[in-house]
Chain A
């Protein structure tokens, strides 16, 4: 069983909807991340939270809004998405903040389809 849990597993939403993705890590890690995985593309880092503080957004469109209320929970709020935002959204955590060679522990992702 993965130490990083993501819900929902699948999500279909229209372009005018608002939805949220949830991630919870049970590993006692200090950093959490959102990644986007699209077909035939490398994993794209979207957001990084080190000790609950956002440190990176990588020029992600504002229709994606992260929230990290504590070191165990991470949300990705979605609104007015575009069809090209359809992808697998992966949450990950690491013991140390990224940049220290720390390996990532991933959840199983939310498969998002924007219609």
Chain B
């Protein structure tokens, strides 16, 4: 059983749409949840960082964590062509040496 499941896509939506990206996980001990954005030919960059359950908003981006369902989401409002990238979810136990556990990433395409 994979620890973190993420639909690889591609997910193609028109400009201006609300985008929902999701990950599910199996290890209930995860405490820190992150979203990274990776443009083509670039390394991943941290987009959102949350601890435990709840919501966090930053501009057009909202991260949600539902620990009871082992489910995290990233919402992008008023999507722009510049949001086209691969989005990676990542999780951390917060107390061991295993490091971050990543999803495979979702390739998002925003059509102008």
Contacts and interface: CB of A to CB of B under 8 A. Distances in A.
Interface residues of B, number: 30
Contacts of B41: 108
Contacts, number: 67
B53 to A, nearest CB: 15
Contact of B94 (A90, A92, A99): A99
A101 B99 contact: no
Interface string A83-112: 000000010100001111101111111000
Interface string B67-106: 0000000000000000000001010111111111111110
Given A40-B8, A42-B4, A99 B98 contact: yes
Q: Chain B interface mostly helix, strand, loop or mixed?
A: loop
A21 B47 CA distance: 27
Contacts of B105: 42
Please classify how large the interface on chain A is, using the bins under 10, 10 to 19, 20 to 34, 35 or more.
20 to 34
A66 to B, nearest CB: 15
Contacts of A106: 36, 43-45
Interface in B43-59: 43-46, 49, 51
Nearest to B92: A101
29 contacts: A2-B43, A6-B43, A40-B8, A41-B104, A42-B103, A42-B105, A43-B44, A43-B88, A43-B90, A43-B102, A45-B98, A45-B99, A56-B98, A56-B99, A92-B43, A97-B97, A98-B97, A99-B92, A99-B95, A99-B97, A100-B94, A100-B95, A101-B31, A101-B51, A101-B92, A101-B94, A106-B43, A108-B42, A109-B42
Given A43-B100, A99-B94, A106-B45, 8 more contacts: A40-B8, A43-B44, A43-B90, A48-B97, A90-B43, A90-B44, A99-B93, A99-B97
